[in-house]
Structure 1
Amino acid sequence: MELRQIQYFIEVAKREHVTEAAHALHVAQSAVSRQIANLESELGVALFTREGRNVRLTPLGKIFLTHAQKALREIDKAKQEIEEYLDPAKGSIRLGFPSSLAAYILPTVISAFRAKYPNIGFQLKQGAYHHLIDSVINGEVDIAFIAPVPTDVKEVEGHIFFSDKIVALLPSRHPLADNPALRLSQLKDESFVLFPKGFVLYQLVANACHQMGFQPKVAFEGEDIDAIKGLVATGLGVTLLPEVTLIDSTPRDTVKIPISEPELARTVGVIIPKKRKLPPSEQLFYDFIGEFFSMLNQFSL
């Protein structure tokens, strides 16, 4: 089995079309077809079925794709590690992050790191909470910013940097807009703008509301924080958001108000794999962000 065969197989599986895969690989269609046929012959199974001009993975083809992608990631990672051992300051960092940390934390940290290591590149991958955990476990990324930091996932190691308060965001003309703080129960009759069910921020808000004896009335759901802020700004509802998402971008016509009861916060940090050693450049970044937030915490005290 050759590396080229695996690369051709993955490209055909991704595009479900041999000709398009050949164009993407800059080789002749006959070369791709021949390598796929050789691979199927060696494995003794059909990896694709033909549907007109398209191809589809067979059940066994899907199994092989999962392992082939993982194998290719490991080969790419091995090349990366060799290059980085020769010069850690010229490597590349695969970094995952959630949308709630994209506007302030992520660019702040990367900017500070690049000031010290200007030749290290980044491959950024945004994802939801559980997807980020899976990405670290599966090797798609090696480090992921995350909030809250999981404590019950045995395959990853978490490091907490700080605690991020959850605050209310209300339209500026809301009757409660002048309050210095709010009890969450004061919002029980309001229409909420929240992330969809399944998102960790939705669950955090829902749990807090249940703690105060009510079910939030969700008028709008959205996966984009800026869209949620915009809906609140136009008076279509209220929301609860991590305070860090409002540091530089509290919209006009809204007010940010602390929640006095119950106390709401989430941990913010990173996760790395427990059973894989970080490549040199990523170890540099991991060590850097630990020192970066440690200094910030000391300054804030």
Structure 2
Amino acid sequence: MEMRQIQYFIEVANREHMTEAAVALHVAQSAVSRQIVNLENELGVDLFIREGRRVKLTPLGKIFLKRITHAMNVIDDATREVKEYLDPEKGTIRIAFPISLAAHTLPTAISSFRMYYPEAKFQLKQGLYNDLIDGVASGDFNMALIGPVPMEEKKVNRKILFTENVVALLPIHHPLADRETLRLRELKDDPFVLLPEGFVFRDIVINACKDIGFEPQIAFEGDDIDALKGLVSAGLGVTLMPEVTLMESLSRSTVKIPLVEPNVTRTVGVITPKERVLLPTEQLFYQFLQDFFARLSYFKE
């Protein structure tokens, strides 16, 4: 089995198209087809179902893709590790993150880190909560920012960086919009706009409401944080949000109000694999994250 065959296989599997894979690889389509056939002959199984130049993975092909992708990540990590031990300040950090930390938290940390290490590089991937945990555990990436921090998860190491408040976001003309604080119970008759099922923050909101005796009336769902802001701005409902998601932008048509009774919070932290060590540049960033958010917490206090 040759490295070239594996590289061609992964590209075709991800694109499900021989010609598109060939273009991405800068080789002839016939060369890609030939290497895939050679790989299948060597393995003794069909990896793809052919439909002209478009292809789909067979069940065995899907298993092989998962395993070989993990193997390639291990090889890539080994190569990077050797290089980074020679010069860790110029290495690459692979880190994943949820949508709620994309606008402010992660960019702020990376920007500050690059002030000290301007030649460091980043490979970023956005994902859902459980995908972040699985991705770190399986080797898709070595580090993920996450909120809330999964304290019971056995597959990863965890470090809480800070705890943030969850606030209410209301339309500017809402009857309670002039309040300095809100009790969550006061919103029990309001329509809520929430993220779709599968987003852990949706569960945080629903559980916070249930804990004080009501289930929120879900009027609309938005695919991301900005969509929720837009729905609230349009007067279609209220929502709860991590305060950090409102740091950069708050529509004039909305108002954020701190919650009391209960005080809803979310931990934010970083998870790393239990079965693998961080590469030198990643270790550098991991330590920087802890120091950076510790300083921020100190100045807030």
Do the two structures share a fold, i.e. TM-score over 0.5?
yes
Q: Are positions 1:12 and 2:7 aligned together?
A: no
1:206 deviates by: 0.5
CA distance in 2, matches of 1:23, 1:213: 58
Q: Does 1:42 align with 2:42?
A: yes
Q: Distance in 2 between matches of 1:46 and 1:99?
A: 38
Counterpart of 1:86 in structure 2 is 86
- Post-superposition CA distance 1:217-273 (Å, at most 9, x none): 111101211121121112111110011111221211211111111121010111111
CA 1:234–1:30 in 2, change beyond 3 Å: closer, same or farther? Answer: closer
Change (3 A) 1:196 1:45: same
Distance 1:210 1:285, change over 3 A: same
User: Is residue 120 of structure 2 the alignment partner of residue 110 of structure 1?
Assistant: no
Alignment RMSD: 1.4
- How far off its partner does 1:66 sit? 1.3
> Is the CA contact 2:92–2:282 (under 8 Å) kept in the aligned structure 1?
yes
Task: State the AA in 1 paired with 2:231.
Answer: L
Q: How does 1:37-186 map to 2 (within 5 A)?
A: 37-186=37-186
- After TM superposition, the structure 1 stretch with the greater mean CA deviation from structure 2, 200-209 or 68-77, is 68-77
Matched with 1:223 is 223
Q: Distance in 1 between matches of 2:102 and 2:59?
A: 38
How far apart, CA to CA, are the structure 2 residues paired with 1:187 and 1:109? 34
Distance 1:89 1:232, change over 3 A: same
The verdict on how the C-alpha distance between 1:226 and 1:30 changes in structure 2, with shifts beyond 3 A counting, is closer
Matches within 5 A, 1:191-270: 191-270=191-270
The aligned residue for residue 24 of structure 2 is: 24
- How far apart, in 2, do the equivalents of 1:270 and 1:66 lie? 24
Aligned residues of 2:160 and 2:268 also touching (Cα < 8 A)? yes
Deviation of 1:49 after TM superposition, in Å, equals 2.7
TM-score, length of structure 2 as denominator length: 0.95
What letter matches 1:156 in structure 2? V
Q: Distance in 2 between matches of 1:12 and 1:111?
A: 35
Gaps of 5+ in 2: none
Partner of 2:23, secondary structure, is helix
Residue 255 to residue 82, structure 1, CA distance change in 2 (3 Å) = same
In 1, the alpha carbon distance for the partners of 2:107 and 2:168 equals 24
Q: Which secondary structure state, in structure 2, belongs to the residue aligned with residue 123 of structure 1?
A: strand
1:68-118 superposed Cα distances (whole Å, 9 cap, x missing partner): 111111112222111111110111111111111122211211111000000
Letter in 1 for 2:297: N
d(CA) in 2 for partners of 1:214, 1:287: 42
Q: How many Å apart are 1:22 and its aligned residue?
A: 2.4
Q: Hey, what's the Cα distance between the residues in 2 that align with 1:128 and 1:231?
A: 21
* Deviation of 1:151 (Å): 0.8
For the residues of structure 2 that align with 1:199 and 1:274, how far apart are their CA atoms?
A: 24
Relative to the length of structure 1, the TM-score reads 0.95
Contact 2:192 2:216 in 1 (8 A): yes
C-alpha separation in 1, matches of 2:231 and 2:191: 11
Mapped partners of 1:47, 1:230: distance in 2: 45
CA distance in 2, matches of 1:48, 1:134: 26
Change (3 A) 1:230 1:19: closer
How many residues are paired up? 301
Hey, what's the Cα distance between the residues in 2 that align with 1:49 and 1:194? 40
Distance 1:271 1:254 in 2: 34
Runs of 5+ unmatched residues, structure 1: none
What letter matches 1:127 in structure 2? G
- Deviating more after overlay: 115-124 vs 137-146: 137-146
Counterparts in 2 of 1:230 and 1:55: CA distance versus 1, 3 Å: closer
